[in-house]
Chain A
């Protein structure tokens, strides 16, 4: 069972609002990720981090930002939400090194109206 937690699980907000999706893991993993996934579609990596104070953009451009001040915490923020941001956001973590297993949270479903 993965020890990685996302809140909120479901969020409906109005256009222009600022939101932060929280992600925490208790496995001591150095690497953390955010993926975006529309229903029934593939995953797109939007942000990743290899450790504290390390953040990188992923393969899919995103207007969101992330921070990594603590090993266990990797929040994602949207300064001004738009309907195009409606999607599922999946947080994940893994140990350092190539090709290690990734552990996923349950996801945060964001709907912007």
Chain B
């Protein structure tokens, strides 16, 4: 089964609002990454947070990591129509070089 589970599965918000997506995982991780996928395209890496970090920022993106709860959140501030995409979290586990992807959140920004 997938390591990461995103919540919600789908999210629709008005342009300009903030979007928050959550990811839960099951085992200890080396790092956690967020990827974006536009419809019909490949995935693009957004941000990586290591297990010893609690928060990371990149432009309008803010990622938090709570290893005690085995969860992470991705916040997109001041959303734009171009942010419409699916967002996946991926975990890197110790001793396993493969990333494990979650189920994804489909984000729709309404102009």
Contacts and interface: CB of A to CB of B under 8 A. Distances in A.
Contacts of A42: 2, 88, 101-104
Which among B41, B42, B45, B104 has the greatest number of chain A C-beta atoms within 10 A? B42
Contact of B33 (A40, A48, A97, A101): A101
Given A42-B2, A50-B97, A102 B40 contact: no
Interface residues of B, number: 29
A64 B93 CA distance: 27
Chain B at the A interface: SS class: strand
A104 B42 contact: yes
Interface residues of A, number: 27
Contacts of A105: 42
B48 A101 contact: yes
Interface string A73-108: 000000000000000101010001111111111110
Interface of B: 2, 29-31, 33, 35, 40-45, 48, 86, 88, 90, 92-99, 101-104, 106
Interface of A: 2, 31, 33, 35, 40-43, 45, 48, 50, 88, 90, 92, 96-107, 109
